[in-house]
Structure formats: C-alpha cells, structure tokens
Amino acid sequence: MAVLAPGARLSRVKVSPDRVIRTIAGLRPFRPSGFVVRGEKLGEKTVIHNYGHGGAGITLSWGTSQLAVEEGAKAEARDCAVIGCGVVGLSTARLLQQRGYNPVIYARETPPSTTSNVAGGLWDPVSVYDRPSVTPEFRRQFGEAARFAFRRYQSLTGDLYGVRWLPLYTLSRDGAVAVAPPESPNSEVQPLYPEPKQLSPGEHPFNVPFAHRRYSMLIEPAIYLNALMRDYLLNGGRIAIREFQSREELMGLRENLLFNCTGLGAGKLFGDAELTPIKGQLSFLLPQPELDYMTVGPGDIYMFPRRDGVLLGCSHERGVWSTEPDPATTERILRENAALFGGMRG
C-alpha cells in the first residue's frame, strides 16, 4: 500500500445509523434538452421562462436568471411578476431589483418548503441535459449561464450567504475521471475549476484506485435561501402566496411582464411534456465541523459537510414522482458511505 504523503490526511466522516438526524427526498426538474430560457407572448403579457434546471438549479440560478432578465429588458414594463420562490425565482427577482424593476413574487411555497431547499448545494452543472438532445443555442446559454453564476457566487463567499470553497474528491473504482469531450456542453465549464489533479495513491487517503481533486464551492441552501429572501425583502420586494392552476389564471395578474420560475411546476402550468422529475434522496448526519472536503463517488454516492449536517446522498431515479424517502435507499446510502469512510487511511 502506498505511503500517505504529508498533507494527504483528511478527517473521517463518522457514518452510523444512530448519527442520522433526518432523511429527505426531492425531485430535480429535468428536461432532456436542458433548461428553458426564452420569451413568449401571452395575450398582452410577456412571459419569460426560466425553468428546468435538473440537478443544477442552485449552480446555474444566477446565470440563467441573468439571461432571463436580459430577455425581459426587451419589454417596456418596470412592474413585473416572478412566479416561483425557489432559488431561480429569488435570483431573478434580485437581478430585477438591481436593474431598478419592481418585482412581486407569487408562489405556492417559499423556503424552507421548496425543492431548492432539498438541494445538496455543490456548485457543479450536472444532470442538466441528455447530450443527444441539446441544441447549439442551449449550449451557448449553458456556457454563458455557468460562467456568470461561477463569478457571482464568488462574490458571496462567507458565513452571511453560506458559500465556501472546498476541495472536491471524485472517486472511482472503474477508471480515471474522464475529461468532458469537446462535443459535451460541460466542456465549456471544465476550465473554470481551479487546480484539477489526478491523484496518485499516496496523495489521498481513500481506498479506491482512482481519485481526482479539484476545487468548487459549496452553497448551503438553508443559509443561502434565507439570505436571498432577506436581500429581496430589504430591497422592497413583496411575496404573495398563491397557486396558479393554469396559464389563463396568469392573465388576471396586474403585471404585464412575467417571469416563469416554477421549476417542475412549469410542466402542468405551461404544458411542457418534456419536464420530468429525477428523484434524489439525502440522509444527514450530526454536523462535523472538522470536515473540510467534499466527495463524489464511487458510484453515485456523495458527501458534503454542511453546517446543518453532514449530507450523504445517492440516487437519480428518473420519472419517479414520490418525495417519500425509500428505506432501502437510506440503507444503501449509509452502507456505501460507511464502507468508503471506514476504509480511509491515516
């Protein structure tokens, strides 16, 4: 076994069923051809869509919202409605305020009850599209949105927004972590990550043959979404709790410029049959403040050391609508993570 290089030691995650503080599941709003950012006329109203972010709504929120707000600037209105109060609606509303608009948010749920609160919070645009289904226009928007969001989050690092840089270890038993090929939209994003490195066995403590390290940001949804809400309200924003059953109902709104940030809800509201859920499940362990790294893999497991608990995740179940945690998945999350962290050297 290779000798561990100085500095390669990491604190161990303490995985056991009696340390679990909660288990939750949520639905990623996925579209094979990727998120939708575009304008549409609805009678005398203009609707700017901004939904369908799959497994990367936190990651891309600032970027797609910037594209949406630029699209909205083509209309004359200054009073506008944002439908939805997840990370996408709140980012859109904040960008509108910063441009001098007066947005009102209308939403069925607000944090902490949105899908955005279920997110793990890793900055990484994954599970956003199926490569054969994307268009060149989507690829352009994806690259632009990711670059904008990557810069914007860097201006929010610190305790106030719950954003911080951490090393991310991608672990594999099957082969070295592949670089995204040029035809993949993610090849636009890969150069953003600082200090990527394929590690030799002596450079990491994990008992797997392949490990890659790069740096990314962890955005803690509980802290971050509260901070966005606070910023929005302190800048004069209003939130109205309201559920819309149909697009016709939107016609009754006072505002003529609408931003559709309804996530998975856009499927029913706007008849988008491409939208489909990808269920994911998370178990949280008691917080361990000494943990200063994140892991993804081997397989589909991941670990992010959040203030509200050490997040252990797995599972991407496409087409599953239930938000009930599945006991067999919980057992697998704990078993596979216990094997990974129990097998660490040092």
Residues that bind ligand FAD (CB under 6 A): 26-29, 51, 53-59, 83-89, 107-109, 114-116, 118-122, 243-244, 261-265, 269, 280, 282
CB of 201 to ligand FAD, least distance (A): 28
- Which tokens go with 59? 């990651």
CB of 58 to ligand FAD, least distance (A): 3
Of the two residues 46 and 115, which places its CB atom closer to ligand FAD in the complex?
Answer: 115
Of the two residues 8 and 253, which places its CB atom closer to ligand FAD in the complex?
Answer: 253
Residue 3, burial from CB neighbour count under 10 angstroms (0-12, 13-18, 19+): exposed
- Which tokens go with 217? 């940001």
Distance, in Å, from the CA atom of 171 to the CA atom of 193, rounded to the nearest integer, reads 17
Residue 74, burial from CB neighbour count under 10 angstroms (0-12, 13-18, 19+): exposed
Pair 258, 46: CB distance under 8 Å? yes
CB of 233 to ligand FAD, least distance (A): 15
- Which tokens go with 248? 């016709």
CB of 331 to ligand FAD, least distance (A): 17
Give the CA distances from residue 45 to residues 77, 212, 254, 310, in Å, rounded to whole numbers and listed in that order.
10, 49, 10, 45
Of the two residues 109 and 308, which places its CB atom closer to ligand FAD in the complex?
Answer: 109
Distance from CA of residue 339 to its chain's centroid?
A: 27
Of the two residues 5 and 24, which places its CB atom closer to ligand FAD in the complex?
Answer: 24
CB of 20 to ligand FAD, least distance (A): 16
